[in-house]
Amino acid sequence: MALRRQKNNIQNLNLIIANEDEKAGMTIDQTILNGKSAAVSFRLVNGGRKSAAVKLDRQACADLLEAVTEILATDGDF
């Protein structure tokens, strides 16, 4: 039996998006393994309560970006 060493470079990125009073919003968590995205999950935050994590693949994240871009392209105070 030979000794085999495996070293992984794991980074966890946590982004928090909240409204002004910081009582509601969402978190985005990304796991980066050896320089590549391994997982992305989203949670809604309402007060002190967090929803279950929802994992999205790359295409779903791209669709989300497109949807938010379309929303922000429309003027309004929301």
Amino acid at 46: N
- pLDDT at residue 78, as a whole number: 73
* DSSP codes, the chain: ---------EEEEEEEEE-TTSSEEEEEEEEEETTEEEEEEEEEEETTEEPPPEE--HHHHHHHHHHHHHHHTS----
**Total-model pTM:** 0.78
d(CA 7, CA 50): 33
The pLDDT mean for the chain works out to 92
> Bigger pLDDT: 3 or 41?
41
- pLDDT at residue 7, as a whole number: 80
